[in-house]
């Protein structure tokens, strides 16, 4: 028996796993938490603990096919390369796109990004992380000059006040939540505040729950900023020495928020609750604000992030133990994708497509004169362009947009009429794979080999437990092979994931001592890592630089930011309500989210009987008053209709819902429930800065 250390493939907590392979032929494996991994110290949640039940070959995509006919790899790769080249030659590079995933390993992400942005010459590569945390990226970039999470898990244990804003961490980041619960047991002074329209499982440990009116978070945080100013609770020295833009931001905060009573009225809260929150924030130095999809998935998600960050800048509570604005990303490798520029508006190694110097630097490093020099289409706009026939070929990797995108029926129709749809995945029968002209089998968790970065910036190894099944290949290999056949032979000549990792690290270090060390994300030590050390790589917090060879626990401890003048920026925030308001025809606001025991579209968690037992079918939570008014009995079926589509769900009456607000989980697909696909209902409104969809506020 062979015990291998690897990383959980589900949420952004990034827990370490010890997998003992009992039988590699039948894929029998015993899973337990890695007691030495700093993310989880041996603990696993229900999803991670049942990973052993999900590694069978059931519903695995095992062989390449073209138009449903099994082919060998050479035929499949030649076909994809030739068709992409034909379409590019005829219509230009903007006529093709990649839509990728936070499930990809950093090495896969890097190679996909390099091919599209560096060699095809368009930035039409976006990722399902767009739906998850792209507003948080904008928030950090605007405030700090770079997309940088300042905090770590230890800060949760050192804090005396933790705000969970738009975050049901108990279900969506369970092991991080358990750390908060434990910290609260150890420190009776630690207060937890949940700011969420719903009373979720995270409220179990809350000292205060503020069921804020959907979409009003920015106003609430503007209220905190104004309160800090009015009550002399600012860190004026920090504001003067390390920030700019405070006067305008606080003026706008005062103007928009008004008194505690006005904030409470606008947010649908009691004045007493708002007053308590303001008072606790003002008087608790060690404050961490955790925010997640409830903030990000909004037409004003970026502004909400900056309203939160403003309050931390005003109190100097960043980069110090037990303090900071802490974005919780959803996916296992959303952060790795951010490092390699996986979003359509970013370039590799945290450089910018809008900066000619950065474009030039990456172009010279990659040895390509074709590099994209402007932002590509973000997810919703990308599928709109496919629907309009402007994009004629799309390659979708490790994700299921026909289920997860807003206005998902439109996405489905777009792919049905697209000239070329290539899907590479480890799963055979997804709603998206059914629309593919070419299917390419990728390795899955338990076979993949590379790195992921968790939400506290910790790089960990995913290691293979078994050889690849069937004809499956690693994503980086598939992309490289297509790139070589498209004519980019030298630049994609990788022999291993370690090869790709070294190049990614070398690019990160390339000319990185310029610009007054604005991008000190120096992975140069990793640029020389050999196969043995890559295999043995221990979890380490990015960035790893000359001064921080063991990684960096906390960012901005010195108050120096990545802006041109090294100062952080306050952003003036004018709160905006959700774009589409409920009306007489669509009187409810639909909120969407995750369940404790499922992950994404259930392609993996759906294989574990223990997990599906928790909630076996799609449901809608509704307040008892609304249910009575509509004559909906518990366990009856409700048809949920928006302007964009409809779904069916089992009625669950829950007093934890607000009156006028419904909640549905995101997980069911056309395969698992013919009418339970929530993406069909969700409005395709996006944040103007981040392009992130407003997935939590659709009138229905």
List residues near ligand SF4 by CB under 6 A. 8, 10-11, 13-15, 40, 44-45, 47-48, 173-175
Work out how close the CB of 170 gets to ligand SF4 at its nearest, in angstroms, rounded to a whole number: 11
Smallest distance, ligand SF4 to C-beta of residue 558, A: 31
In degrees, rounded to 5, the angle at the alpha carbon of residue 375 between the alpha carbons of residues 367 and 372 is: 20
Q: How buried is residue 46: exposed, middle or buried, by Cβ count under 10 Å (0-12/13-18/19+)?
A: middle
**Closest to ligand SF4 by CB, 47 or 502:** 47
Which are the contacts of 443, defined by CB distance < 8 A and separation ≥ 6?
Answer: 426, 449, 464, 468, 469, 472, 473, 474, 475
Query: Can you tell me the distance from the alpha carbon of 358 to that of 521, in angstroms, rounded to the nearest whole number?
Result: 14
Q: Which of 15/95 has CB closer to ligand SF4?
A: 15
Nearer to ligand SF4, 48 or 52 (CB): 48
The nearer residue to ligand SF4, 15 or 163, going by C-beta atoms, is 15
For residue 623, what are its two tokens? Answer: 């307040």
CB 125 within 8 A of CB 112: yes
CB of 53 to ligand SF4, least distance (A): 14
Rounded to a whole number of angstroms, the minimum distance from the CB of residue 44 to ligand SF4 is 4
Our CB check for ligand SF4 shows the closer of 48 and 539 to be: 48
**Would you say 94 or 456 has its CB closer to ligand SF4?**
456
Taking the complex as a whole, how short is the minimal distance between the CB of residue 164 and ligand SF4, in angstroms?
15
In the bound complex, what is the minimum distance in angstroms from residue 595's beta carbon to ligand SF4? Answer: 12
Rounded to whole angstroms, how far apart are CA atoms 233 and 314?
Answer: 9
Name the minimum Å distance from CB 320 to ligand SF4.
26
Tell me which residue has its CB nearest to ligand SF4. 48
Least distance CB 286 / ligand SF4 (angstroms): 24
User: Cβ closer to ligand SF4: 11 or 97?
Assistant: 11
- Report the C-alpha gap between 38 and 443 in whole angstroms: 27
The residue (of 19 and 371) whose beta carbon lies closer to ligand SF4 is 19
Residues 420 and 81: beta-carbon distance below 8 Å: no
Q: Mind giving me the DSSP string for 440-487?
A: EEB--TTT--EEEE-TTSEEEEE--SSPPPTT-B-HHHHHHHHHHHTT
Query: What are residue 244's phi and psi, to 5 degrees?
Result: -145, 155
Q: How far apart are CA 312 and CA 634, in angstroms?
A: 44
- Which residue in this structure is represented by tokens 């779904």? 647
With contact defined as beta carbons under 8 Å apart, do 422 and 399 qualify? no
Q: At residue 699, what are phi and psi to the nearest 5 degrees? A: -70, 130
Q: What minimum distance in Å lies between the beta carbon of 18 and ligand SF4?
A: 12
> What are 560's two structure tokens?
């120096």
Nearer to ligand SF4 among residue 81 and residue 452 (C-beta):
452
The CB-of-39 to ligand SF4 minimum distance in angstroms stands at: 7
User: With respect to ligand SF4, which residue has the nearer C-beta, 91 or 596?
Assistant: 596
Give me 570's structure tokens: 């306050």
For ligand SF4, the closer CB: 328 or 488 = 328
Task: Judge residue 564's burial from the number of C-beta atoms within 10 Å of its C-beta, 0-12 exposed, 13-18 middle, 19 or more buried.
Answer: exposed
Q: Which is nearer to ligand SF4, 20 or 262 (CB)?
A: 20
**Residue 626 Cβ vs ligand SF4, minimum distance, rounded to whole Å:** 32
Q: Is 490 helix (H, G, I), strand (E, B) or coil?
A: helix
Nearest partner of 491 among 506, 475, 503, 474, judged by Cα: 503
CA dihedral angle for residue 168, residue 554, residue 569, residue 311, rounded to 10 degrees: 50
* Cβ nearer to ligand SF4, comparing 454 with 661: 454
Distance, in Å, from the CA atom of 373 to the CA atom of 370, rounded to the nearest integer, reads 9
**Cα(303)–Cα(330) distance, rounded to whole angstroms?**
19
Q: Which residues contact 323 (CB under 8 A, 6 or more apart)?
A: 151, 155, 159, 285, 286, 287, 288, 312, 317
Least spacing, CB of residue 13 vs ligand SF4, in Å:
4
- C-beta of residue 318 within 8 angstroms of C-beta of residue 116: no
Smallest gap, in angstroms, from Cβ of residue 8 to ligand SF4? 3
- Rg value, the chain, Cα: 24
């Amino acid at each position: 028996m062979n015990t291998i250390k690897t990383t959980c493939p589900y949420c952004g907590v990034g827990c370490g796993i010890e997998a003992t392979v009992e039988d590699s032929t039948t894929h029998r494996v015993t899973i337990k938490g890695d007691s030495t991994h700093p993310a989880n110290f041996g603990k696993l949640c229900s999803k991670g603990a049942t990973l052993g039940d999900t590694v069978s070959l059931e519903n695995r995509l095992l062989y390449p096919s073209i138009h449903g006919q099994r082919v060998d790899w050479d035929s499949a790769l030649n076909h994809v390369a030739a068709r992409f080249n034909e379409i590019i030659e005829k219509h230009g590079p903007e006529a093709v796109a990649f839509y990728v995933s936070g499930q990809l390993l950093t090495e896969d992400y890097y190679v996909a990004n390099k091919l599209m942005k560096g060699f095809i010459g368009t930035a039409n590569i976006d990722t399902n992380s767009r739906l998850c945390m792209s507003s948080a990226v904008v928030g950090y970039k605007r405030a700090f000059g770079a997309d940088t999470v300042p905090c770590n898990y230890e800060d949760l244990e050192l804090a005396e006040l933790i705000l969970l804003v738009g975050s049901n961490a108990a279900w969506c980041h369970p092991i991080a939540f358990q750390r908060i619960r434990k910290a609260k047991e150890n420190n009776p002074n630690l207060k937890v505040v949940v700011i969420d329209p719903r009373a979720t499982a995270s409220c179990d440990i809350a000292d205060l729950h503020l069921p804020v009116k959907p979409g009003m978070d920015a106003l609430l945080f503007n209220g905190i900023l104004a309160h800090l100013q009015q009550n002399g609770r600012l860190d004026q020295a920090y504001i003067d020495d390390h920030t700019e833009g405070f006067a305008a931001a606080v003026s706008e905060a005062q103007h928009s928020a008004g008194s505690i009573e006005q904030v409470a009225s606008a947010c649908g809260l009691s004045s007493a609750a708002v007053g308590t929150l303001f008072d606790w924030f003002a008087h608790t130095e060690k404050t961490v604000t955790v925010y997640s999809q409830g903030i990000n998935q909004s037409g004003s998600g970026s502004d909400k992030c900056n309203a939160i960050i403003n309050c931390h800048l005003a109190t100097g509570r960043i980069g110090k133990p037990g303090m900071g604005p802490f974005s919780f990303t959803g996916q296992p490798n959303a952060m790795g994708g951010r490092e390699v520029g996986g979003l359509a508006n970013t370039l590799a190694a945290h450089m910018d497509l809008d900066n000619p110097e950065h474009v030039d630097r990456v172009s010279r490093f990659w040895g390509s004169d074709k590099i994209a020099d402007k932002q590509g289409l973000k997810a919703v706009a990308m599928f709109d362009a496919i629907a309009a026939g402007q994009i004629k070929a799309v390659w979708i990797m490790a994700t299921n947009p026909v289920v997860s995108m807003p206005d998902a029926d439109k996405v489905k129709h777009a792919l049905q009429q697209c000239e070329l749809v290539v899907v590479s995945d480890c799963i055979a029968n997804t709603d998206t794979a059914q629309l593919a002209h070419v299917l390419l089998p990728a390795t899955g968790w338990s076979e993949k080999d590379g790195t992921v970065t968790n939400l506290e910036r910790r790089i960990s190894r995913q290691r293979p437990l078994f050889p690849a099944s069937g004809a499956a290949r690693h994503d980086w290999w598939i992309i490289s092979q297509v790139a070589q056949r498209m004519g980019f032979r030298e630049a994609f000549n990788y022999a291993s994931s370690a090869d790709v990792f070294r190049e990614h690290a070398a690019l990160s270090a390339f000319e990185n001592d310029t610009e007054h060390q604005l991008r000190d994300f120096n992975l140069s030590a990793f640029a020389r890592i050999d196969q043995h050390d890559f295999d043995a790589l221990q979890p380490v917090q990015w960035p790893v630089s000359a001064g921080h060879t063991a990684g960096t626990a906390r960012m901005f401890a010195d108050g120096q930011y990545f802006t041109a003048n090294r100062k952080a920026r306050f952003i003036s925030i004018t709160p905006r309500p959700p774009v589409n308001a409920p009306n007489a025809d669509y009187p409810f606001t639909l909120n969407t989210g995750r369940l404790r025991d499922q992950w994404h579209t259930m392609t993996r968690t759906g294989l574990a009987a223990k997990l599906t037992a928790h909630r076996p079918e799609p449901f809608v939570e509704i307040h008892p008053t609304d249910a009575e008014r509509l004559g909906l009995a518990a366990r009856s079926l409700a048809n949920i209709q928006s302007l964009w589509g409809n779904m069916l769900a089992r009625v669950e009456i829950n007093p934890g819902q607000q009156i006028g607000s419904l909640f549905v989980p995101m997980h069911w697909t056309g395969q698992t429930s013919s009418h339970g696909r929530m993406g069909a209902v969700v409005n395709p409104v996006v944040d103007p800065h981040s392009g992130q969809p407003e997935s939590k506020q659709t009138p229905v």
